[in-house]
Amino acid sequence: MTQHTWRLRDAARFGVLIAVVLAGCMGAVTPTTTAAPVRPEISFVDSATGACKVTDAKAMVTGGGDQDWSHTTDRIVYDQLDANRIFQLNTMKSDGSDTKCLSCAARAGAPAVNQHKFNPSWHPSGQYVVVQVEMKSHWLSWLKTDPMTTELLQNGLWNDLYLVSADGTSWQKLTNTTASVTDGVLAPVFSPDGTKLMWSKIIAPASKTQPFGVWRLMIADFAMSGGKASLVNIRDITPAGATFIEAHGFAPDSRSVLFTTDIGVTSTWEKHIWSMDLATGSTRNVTPNVHWNEHAYYSPDGSSITFMSSLPFLWSFMKTEVMLMNADGSGVVRLTHFNSKGYRESTAEQSAATRVRWNAAGTKMLVTQQMADTYPARKMWMLTFAGACGMASGT
């Protein structure tokens, strides 16, 4: 049993002890859900060829990741542990140069330097970043640098959403999380047209029957007026039957979204990726298998989806790779081989490939690698493909 397995289970129990169960239920809008039959296995190509063959792999960041790549400015934003074991918000050019920490110095209106910052995402203009920020004060503030506490915070507990300018000089708080109950936000992401923001919200703690807590999928209109940002028309779009749900991304036309949920699962460690049409509320399971599937993201032209999955392996916790499939869920191909010998990105230590982001041309990809034995150690990799892997014209 891996260290991560113990940490997740301990964190779940810890969450029951420290989180208040009396979080109020929200008046959710529950659109019709069409369940797809779950197949025990799904066929896939184990090694990509042609445009999707990995020709170069480079570890860009150690101790951080959960990155986003601006298609407007070509800058990368990511979180990274500092010397005091606080996650800070950083940016750099796509070649790894010109690194800047946006949160390492005290600024008026900004969260304190010793508050964690996690999971950043660019506004499509490249002028702003939305980021999770640990609350200034909560029940676990005194343990904030403990790896277990950091995991709980990184995964949404007692976080707020902030909007920060690309140079880090201006910060605006977008949400108001309550420390006295189980509350928090996770995985914020802007729509490509810049008009909407989607995120996940925790409303109840982990328990024996709900080991990942109870979550809702939220969306709001993003407004800027006189330099002041706000979220308006906030609504709950959680599909019926979802208990755990994690926001991932929008289609390039901003009309549909991807998320991971536990609808229809048969075991604790099984999760599926679903798509939702925002106009109709209709949903579809695009990974109907019995594996852990998560961290889905559309390719730049929307023709395909990358996602994390344990599909290549019979069963081994904290052992996943990045997969590629057509937007309808067909044509699954394995892109990465972190856990197999003989590839450019291969590492001796077992790991889980998690969050993925493309460059605008679909020729490069950033991947966060979560290490197993040295958990919570992480790395951020840049993979280069033989061609435009993320484009219909390049595959």
Predicted local distance difference test score (pLDDT) of residue 41: 59
d(CA 53, CA 66): 23
Q: Are 120 and 89 in contact, with CB atoms under 8 Å apart?
A: yes
Q: Are 258 and 297 in contact, with CB atoms under 8 Å apart?
A: yes
Q: Are 219 and 196 in contact, with CB atoms under 8 Å apart?
A: yes
**Cα 336–Cα 74–Cα 255 angle in degrees, nearest 5:** 75
Question: What is the domain partition of the chain in residue ranges?
Answer: 3-20+45-394
CATH of 3-20+45-394 among 2.120.10.30, 3.40.50.2000, 1.10.150.120, 3.40.50.11860 = 2.120.10.30
- Torsional class of 34: left (φ above 0), alpha (ψ -120 to 50), beta (otherwise): beta
Angle between helices 147-154 and 3-18 (to 10 degrees): 70
CB-count exposure of residue 20 (10 Å: 0-12, 13-18, 19+): middle
Name the one residue in this structure whose structure tokens are 């200034």. Answer: 136
Name the one residue in this structure whose structure tokens are 């606080």. Answer: 86
Distance of CA 298 to the CA centre of its chain: 13
Residue 335 CA: distances (Å) to CA of 26, 181, 272, 367: 39, 41, 19, 11
Per-residue pLDDT tens digits of the chain, which is 395 residues long? 333 333 343 443 333 334 332 232 223 333 334 444 444 556 888 888 999 999 999 999 999 999 999 999 999 999 999 999 999 999 999 999 999 999 999 998 999 999 999 999 999 999 999 999 999 999 999 999 998 899 889 999 999 999 999 999 999 999 999 988 899 999 999 999 999 999 999 999 888 888 899 999 999 999 999 989 999 999 999 999 999 999 999 999 999 999 999 999 988 889 999 999 999 999 999 998 889 999 999 999 999 999 999 999 876 678 999 999 999 999 999 999 999 999 999 999 999 999 999 999 999 999 999 999 888 889 999 999 999 998 987 65
d(CA 75, CA 8): 33
Closest CA to 288 of 307, 304, 316: 307
Q: What is the pTM of this model?
A: 0.89
> Amino acid letter at 282?
S
Give me Rg for the CA atoms of the chain: 19
Dump the DSSP string for 137-151.
S-TTGGGTTSHHHHH
Look at the alpha carbons of 131, 136, 232, 245 in this order and tell me if their dihedral is positive or negative: positive
Residue 332 CA: distances (Å) to CA of 45, 79, 255, 306, 369: 6, 30, 23, 9, 21
